[in-house]
């Protein structure tokens, strides 16, 4: 299953996105008061603050997340996408959207985030129908199994709150590493 042309970025945009990062412009001295834990890491004693899987690195002046590509996530959120909310049994709220794969010259499973809307719900239903038909026809995992198209993403509200807080403070911006 292929995404439509409107859903895909051009090759140049994908290449540029691969150099994207989230630049931290904030005050490092205020991070501890915001619930971040300070650490010195590796032999070079890199200074890093962590909270909810967000990592603010002093060397390089960037912010990362253990589960999400923040650059792609922030670009996606800037489009004001339709997000479904889900509440777990313990009362925690998550925002649901999709991560759809595409192949590039360097990465077979690069991805972009997409909204939880009718078009993408249908895309996933069609994919799972193709998988079901493949299995019902006696097909195994090794013979022409439909390629995975992506995953559902459940972003915790507390993660979204950290991004919102940094955005409201003007402490983050999208930037690009220089080309080689």
Q: What is the pLDDT of residue 86?
A: 92
- The SS3 assignment for 60 reads coil
- Mean pLDDT estimate for the chain: 83
Give the pLDDT band (50/70/90) at residue 159: very high
Domain boundaries, position 43: 9-176
Q: Which pLDDT score is estimated for 157?
A: 93
Q: How confident is the model at residue 5 (pLDDT cuts 50, 70, 90)?
A: very low
Q: Which whole number is the average pLDDT over 74-103?
A: 89
Q: Is residue 114 part of a domain?
A: yes
More confident position, 4 or 45: 45
Question: Quick one: pLDDT at residue 177?
Answer: 81
Confidence class for position 148, pLDDT limits 50, 70, 90: confident
Mean predicted confidence (pLDDT) in 136-149: 71
**Structural domain count, the chain:** 1
Residue 91 neighbours by CB under 8 Å, 6+ apart: none
- CB-based burial of residue 52 (10 Å sphere; 0-12 exposed, 13-18 middle, 19+ buried)? middle
CA dist 160 and 147 (Å) reads: 30
Is the pLDDT higher at 146 or at 27? 27
Whether the pLDDT of residue 151 is over 90: the answer is no
pLDDT surpasses 80 at 141: no
Helices and strands in the chain: count of H runs, count of E runs: 4, 10
pLDDT band at residue 16 using 50, 70 and 90 as cut-offs: low
The answer as to whether 2 is a domain residue is no
38 found inside a domain: yes
Residue 180 has pLDDT above 70, yes or no: no
The pLDDT, as a whole number, for residue 11 is 45
d(C-alpha 79, C-alpha 175), whole Å:
17
Q: Which two tokens stand for residue 8?
A: 């895909």
Position 1 in a domain: no
Q: How confident is the model at residue 70 (pLDDT cuts 50, 70, 90)?
A: very high
Percentage of the residues of the chain whose pLDDT score is greater than 90: 44
Q: Which of 75-79, 103-107, 130-134, 148-152 has the lowest mean pLDDT?
A: 103-107
Q: Does residue 3 fall inside a structural domain?
A: no
Does residue 28 form part of some domain? yes
73 domain-assigned = yes
Q: Is residue 55 in a domain?
A: yes
Q: Residue 71: how many CA atoms within 13 Å on its side-chain side?
A: 15
């Amino acid at each position: 299953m292929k995404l439509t042309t409107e859903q895909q970025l051009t090759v140049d945009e994908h290449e540029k996105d691969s150099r994207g990062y989230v630049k931290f412009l904030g005050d490092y001295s205020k991070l501890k008061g915001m619930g971040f834990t300070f650490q010195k890491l590796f032999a070079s004693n890199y200074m890093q603050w962590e909270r909810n899987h967000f990592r603010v690195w002093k060397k390089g002046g960037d912010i990362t997340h253990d589960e999400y590509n923040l650059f792609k996530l922030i670009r996606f959120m800037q489009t004001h996408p339709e997000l479904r909310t889900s509440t777990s049994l313990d009362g925690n709220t998550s925002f649901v959207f999709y991560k759809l794969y595409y192949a590039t010259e360097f990465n077979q499973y690069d991805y972009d985030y997409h909204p939880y809307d009718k078009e993408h719900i249908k895309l996933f239903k069609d994919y799972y129908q193709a998988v079901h038909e493949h299995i019902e026809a006696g097909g195994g995992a090794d013979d022409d199994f439909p390629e995975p198209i992506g995953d559902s993403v459940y972003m915790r509200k507390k993660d979204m709150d950290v991004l919102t807080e940094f955005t409201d403070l003007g402490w983050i911006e999208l930037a690009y590493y220089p080309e080689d």
